[in-house]
């Protein structure tokens, strides 16, 4: 293995997972190490409930992610979510799809087919995905959740050529199944603005991934029952230290599934989870720097 490890080092990649857990010196543009993200907020009603609850807790988040897909929203709902994002100065991320609407294939619903995740089958689906982004961009959204590497590449080309707004940003979902530095480097090279590795990635793996890329890493601090249901709050201080800059994806344990149709009560429960994670950070890594409210760049 010595020669292989030397080769990886030669091309600027870690020779293995970093078990010494070195501290990351990388930061967001504002100098912060971490930001909060709440995933699974599927419409303007629950988004408003979430943001109002967080105001009551006097705690800021920086991203709200809708996961069911742009096609499940009306124009008025998209515009409403964009308006709330502007009012509360948070980044709104809308998911492309959903795949099940695009595709008539039943294979993705089988045990074998589930391994394909949300990747797109056929070029017609790529066309539809680009149309999703164009539609939401016209309504003011600029951040998108992407599940397919080919779709990411072509959206990056569209962004460079002005087919979609040049300030669009692309976040790679955990459902794409990436969990190593080489995959993360590839995603960064083809246009990703942040990458969400697999949910059970370990700290030494995160450290290695951080050493290979510059873009933020999105990390689940907890998970819905459908993806294991495990909660990692006590690991969060080390996640920040070794992998910054990071988006801490918090509140998922409230949901049963990834695309759970969140209720107002669920939104309030997700807000409380942010408070619980912040307590752990303040207790065990009080020097960690969080972005101020309104930091979305």
Mean pLDDT of 73-94: 96
Predicted pLDDT of residue 62: 96
Architecture per CATH, domain 28-102+115-284, reads as: Alpha-Beta Barrel (3.20)
| pLDDT tier for residue 255 given thresholds of 50, 70 and 90 | confident
Query: What is the rounded average pLDDT of the residues 64-89?
Result: 95
pLDDT band at 249 (very low <50, low <70, confident <90, very high): very high
pTM, two decimals, is 0.93
- Whether 160 shows a pLDDT value over 90: the answer reads yes
- CA 201 vs. chain centroid, Å, equals 14
pLDDT band at 224 (very low <50, low <70, confident <90, very high): confident
pLDDT of 106 reads 59
* Domain spans in the chain, listed from the N-terminal domain onward: 28-102+115-284
Q: 13-17, 29-33, 224-228: lowest mean pLDDT where?
A: 224-228
pLDDT of residue 90: 96
Span 162-186, mean pLDDT?
96
Q: Is the N-terminal amide bond of 25 cis, ω within 30° of 0?
A: no
Q: Look at residue 22 and tell me whether its pLDDT is greater than 90.
A: yes
Mean of per-residue pLDDT scores for the chain:
92
pLDDT value of position 252: 80
pLDDT exceeds cutoff 60 at 104:
no
Q: Which structure tokens are listed for 199?
A: 């949910």
Return d(Cα 1, Cα 51) in angstroms, integer.
51
Nearest to 64, CA basis, from 292, 276, 279, 271: 271
Predicted confidence band of residue 105 (pLDDT cuts 50, 70, 90) = low
Which residue is associated with the tokens 């069911």?
A: 68
Let me know: does 172 contact 114? Beta carbons within 8 Å: no
Share of the chain above pLDDT 70, in %: 92
What are the distances in angstroms from CA 141 to CA 10, 42, 49, 267?
40, 14, 20, 21
Q: Which of 133, 193, 125 is nearest to 163 (CA)?
A: 133
What pLDDT sits at residue 250?
A: 92
Lowest mean pLDDT among 63-72, 92-101, 129-138: 92-101
């Amino acid at each position: 293995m010595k020669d292989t490890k030397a080769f990886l080092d030669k091309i600027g990649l870690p020779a293995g997972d970093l078990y010494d857990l070195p501290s990351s010196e990388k930061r967001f543009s504002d100098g912060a190490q971490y930001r909060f993200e709440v995933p699974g907020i599927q419409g303007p009603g629950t988004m408003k409930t979430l943001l109002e609850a967080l105001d009551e807790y006097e705690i800021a988040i920086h991203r709200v992610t809708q996961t069911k897909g742009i096609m499940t929203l009306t124009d008025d709902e998209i515009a409403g979510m964009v308006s709330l994002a502007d009012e509360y100065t948070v980044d709104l991320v809308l998911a492309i799809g959903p795949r099940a609407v695009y595709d008539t294939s039943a294979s993705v619903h089988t045990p074998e087919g589930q391994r394909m995740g949300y990747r797109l089958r056929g070029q017609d689906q790529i066309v539809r995905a680009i149309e999703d982004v164009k539609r939401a961009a016209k309504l003011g959204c600029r951040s998108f959740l992407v599940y397919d590497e080919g779709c990411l590449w072509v959206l990056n080309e569209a962004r460079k050529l002005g087919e979609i707004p040049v300030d669009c940003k692309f976040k790679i979902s955990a459902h794409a199944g990436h969990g190593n530095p080489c995959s993360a480097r590839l995603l960064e090279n083809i246009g990703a603005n942040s990458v969400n590795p697999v949910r059970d990635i370990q700290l030494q793996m995160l450290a290695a991934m951080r050493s290979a890329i510059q873009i933020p890493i999105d990390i689940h601090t907890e998970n819905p029952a459908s993806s294991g249901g495990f909660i990692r709050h006590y690991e969060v201080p080390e996640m920040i230290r070794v992998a910054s800059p990071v988006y801490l994806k918090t509140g998922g344990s409230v949901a049963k599934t990834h695309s759970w149709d969140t209720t107002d009560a669920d939104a309030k429960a997700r807000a409380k989870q942010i408070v619980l994670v912040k307590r752990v950070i303040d207790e065990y890594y009080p020097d960690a720097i969080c972005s101020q409210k309104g930091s979305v760049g």
